[in-house]
Amino acid sequence: MITKLSRRRLMGTLAAGIGGASVSGWFPTLAAELQKDPNRKRHCILLWMSGGPTQTDTWDMKPNHENGGEFKEIQTASPGLRFSEHLPKLAAMSDNLAVLRGLNTNEGDHGRGTYLMRTGHVPMGPVQYPSIGASLASQLGGGGLALPGNVSIGPYRAFNADAFGPGFLGPRFGPLIVGASDMPGGTPVGGQGFPELKVQSLERAGGITEARMDKRLEIWKSLQSDFLASRASAAKTHNTVYEGAIQLMNSEDAEAFDLSKEPEKLREEYGSTVFGQGCLMARRLVERGVAFVEVSLGTSSGGPGWDTHSDNFNAVEQLSGQLDAGWSTLMKDLKDRGLLESTTIIWMGEFGRTPSINNSTGRDHFPGAWSAVLAGGGIAGGQAYGKTSEDGMEVVDGEIGVEDLLSTLCSGLGVEAGAANIHPNGRPVPIAEGTPIEAVLA
């Protein structure tokens, strides 16, 4: 096991006097002030790899074994840490990344694995648990005046829709969906060849003037007032969501979703894909105070994504290119704006893939020994934690479960140990019941 001493006590001592971010333009003063504030707002970005990404062709390669496959590994900027040759930009930024190579989660079904990794709970019984996005939005707070605290960009929810929802927390903490890949027709291409990532129904319908819209809202509010007066809290919770949507429609905060305001060169650096542009949108949302943003890459109506039962290497090379461009540019962009130290990033899917290669040049479902990655604020990067066997078939050191992974994420975000959601029956339900991995916490 490769470990690093925890730096949290040291950083706590220095935070009040030292601002360490590298920034440009007009951001230096702002970034320095943000770094000085120990209570500054924290953010989380989930990079969700739908379909189950292959650890053996990304973060935990086996070049000297027959399971290693076609890809070569390259040295990263961190001594002894190696990634796939198709992740060169992330390799150059490895000092921000902590690779967790010892995941063992036992769920090899897409639906069950998706639910487990996104909620921290096995799907069973009557309780609908909140997604980690809903839980963190409730703990970290909302965005600006009108923005929600939980946004999901390009999600594919067909494996298990409940894994994306707010569960018993209710619709107030449900995700605002942008550019869902499971919608009919997929995400359209807009101007300059970039995908059109839009919030549905954010604009007034054609032919509806502002004055006419105001009259409709007056009637709606009158009807709602009478209805809510005689209804339970559930109806009031839904009403809060509707009012938030109306507020967003009429707010300048809605500009956060307008990527045309970004320089074309920067958009190209992120990549002209849903994932790349989604990463750019994530930066814009974090900049405006949104607590949790998710960007998906993988399974969609257009192809198998990371579910590479066949033709694994061609698919993973293409996906890795999107991942490398979008994620590396996101971290650089956040750092330039003084936001990386207050933003924790987690990369994961529903499970890994078999180290052994099948007869279709593919890799199958494999939850027994696979990888996730933490990065950014609160994380001690430049290392790998945990180790798999020579053939990659089992964890031989530093084994962790999803509970440990999510507990470490919460710790990196500054969410208190033992933080819990309150079920409607009054019972506290811990967000994550595992043990934080001290070695990867800064």
Q: Is residue 79 part of a domain?
A: yes
Q: Is residue 250 part of a domain?
A: no
Q: Is residue 212 part of a domain?
A: no
Contact 290, 346 (CB under 8 A): no
Given a cut of 70, whether residue 204 has pLDDT beyond it is no
Domain extent at residue 133? 40-202+264-440
pLDDT digits (tens, 9 = 90+) for 247-265: 666 667 888 999 999 999 9
Given a cut of 80, whether residue 178 has pLDDT beyond it is yes
Q: CATH code at 94?
A: 3.40.720.10
DSSP H stretches of helix in 73-128? 88-92, 110-119
**How far apart are the C-alpha atoms of 184 and 377, rounded to whole Å?**
37
Helices and strands per DSSP (H, E), number in the chain = 11, 16
CB-based burial of residue 78 (10 Å sphere; 0-12 exposed, 13-18 middle, 19+ buried)? buried
Token pair, residue 5, equals: 């001493």
- Residue matched to tokens 């650089």: 332
Q: Is residue 207 part of a domain?
A: no
**How far apart are the C-alpha atoms of 65 and 202, rounded to whole Å?**
52
pLDDT digits (tens, 9 = 90+) for 5-18: 333 433 333 333 33
Among 170, 142, 152, 181, which Cα is nearest to 236's?
Answer: 170
Ordered strands of the 383-385 beta sheet: 176-178, 150-153, 292-298, 43-50, 343-349, 370-376, 97-103, 383-385
pLDDT digits (tens, 9 = 90+) for 404-431: 999 999 999 999 878 999 898 889 999 9
- Residue matched to tokens 């899917």: 349
Given a cut of 60, whether residue 279 has pLDDT beyond it is yes
Q: Is residue 208 part of a domain?
A: no
The pLDDT of residue 297 is 95
Given a cut of 60, whether residue 391 has pLDDT beyond it is yes
CA distances to 116, 118, 145, 183, 267 from 395, rounded to whole Å, are 19, 22, 46, 38, 39
> What is the count of structural domains for the chain?
1
Q: Is residue 234 part of a domain?
A: no
Q: Is residue 231 part of a domain?
A: no
Q: Is residue 390 part of a domain?
A: yes
